[in-house]
A and B are shown apart, each in its own frame.
Chain A
C-alpha cells in the first residue's frame, strides 16, 4: 500500500511539475524590472512553504512521541526534519542566486536571511545529535525535546520580515495580508507549484521513514544477537 502511494504521489508531482513549468515559462506575464530571474520565485517560496510544513509535522510528531512514546512518531519526526532541511537548502540556494541579480550580492546578514540560516543549522544540529546517541530511547526522547525548541527558530524566520526592517522584501502574498502587491496569476502559480513540491516531500518522508524503521530493526536484531 505504501509503495503504491509513493508511486502515485511521484507521478502526480512529475506531471504537475511539467504542467507548471510550461505555464511558468510560456503562460505567465513578464515582470517589468527583473527579467527572467523573477521566475525563481515559483521554486524559492514553495520550497520555504514545504520546509515549514515539514518542520510543523516534525514538531507535532516529536510532541506526540513525548506524549505517547510511539516509535512511529520518532521516525516521522526525523524523516520530516531531514526532508525539511533539504528544502531549506533549496530556499537558501535559490534566494542567494536571486539576490545576486536583484541586490548585487549573494548574501547579507539581515534578520530574515540570518534566521533562515540559523534554522537550517539548528535542524542540521538535530540530525547530528541523533547520530551521537546510541541508545534508541534516549535518542528519541532527547531529540524530541530538542525539536520542540527548534521550532521557535522557524516561527522567528517566518515573522522576521514583519518584526524587523530587512533587505528581504516584506510580505507580498495575499495570505499574509499584502493585498494586490502581486499579480494574481503569479500568486496562484506559487500555490500550484507548491503542490508538486509538497508531494515530492511526502514521498521522500515516506521513504526516509521506512529506512528509519529498518535502522531500528537492525539495532534490535544486534541486541538480540549479543544477548544470545
Chain B
C-alpha cells in the first residue's frame, strides 16, 4: 500500500469511530436514565394508588 498521507488517513478513520462510539455511549447513558425515570414514575404511581 502507498504510505503517503497515511497519518491523515488514520485521522479520518479514527474520526469515524470516535463519532460512532461517542453516540453509542450517549445512547447507553440515555437508556440508563430513562429506565431509572420509568421505575421512579411507576413507584410514584403505585404509592399514589395505594394511598387512595
The A contact surface, by secondary structure, is helix
* Chain B hits for A98, CB < 8 A: 8, 12
Asked whether, in the complex, the Cβ of B1 is within 8 Å of the Cβ of A30, the reply is yes
The B contact surface, by secondary structure, is helix
Asked whether, in the complex, the Cβ of A225 is within 8 Å of the Cβ of B48, the reply is yes
* Chain A hits for B35, CB < 8 A: 214
Asked whether, in the complex, the Cβ of A217 is within 8 Å of the Cβ of B9, the reply is no
Question: Given A36-B3, A217-B38, A218-B34, are A228 and B45 also a contact pair (CB < 8 Å)?
Answer: yes
Is A18's CB within 8 Å of the partner chain B? no
Q: Give chain A nearest CB distance to B14 CB in angstroms.
A: 9
- One digit per residue, 1 when the CB lies within 8 angstroms of any chain B CB and 0 when it does not, for chain A 1-36 equals 000000000000000000000000110001100111
Question: Given A43-B12, A90-B19, A97-B12, are A36 and B41 also a contact pair (CB < 8 Å)?
Answer: no
Q: Which of B5, B20, B24, B52 contacts A90 (CB 8 A)?
A: B20
* Chain A hits for B9, CB < 8 A: 35-37, 39-40
* Chain A hits for B27, CB < 8 A: 204, 207-208, 211
Question: Given A211-B27, A211-B34, are A93 and B15 also a contact pair (CB < 8 Å)?
Answer: yes
B23: nearest residue on chain A (CB-CB)? Answer: A86
B-contacting residues, A63-108, CB 8 Å: 86, 89-90, 93-94, 97-98, 100-101
- One digit per residue, 1 when the CB lies within 8 angstroms of any chain A CB and 0 when it does not, for chain B 1-18 equals 111111011011101100
Asked whether, in the complex, the Cβ of B16 is within 8 Å of the Cβ of A43, the reply is yes
Question: Given A30-B2, A40-B13, A43-B13, are A200 and B48 also a contact pair (CB < 8 Å)?
Answer: no
Asked whether, in the complex, the Cβ of A211 is within 8 Å of the Cβ of B1, the reply is no
Shortest 5 CB-CB distances between A and B: which pairs? Answer: A35-B4, A37-B5, A30-B2, A40-B12, A35-B5
A-side residues, CB < 8 A to B, are 25-26, 30-31, 34-37, 39-40, 43-44, 47, 86, 89-90, 93-94, 97-98, 100-101, 200, 204, 207-208, 211, 214-215, 217-218, 221-222, 224-225, 228
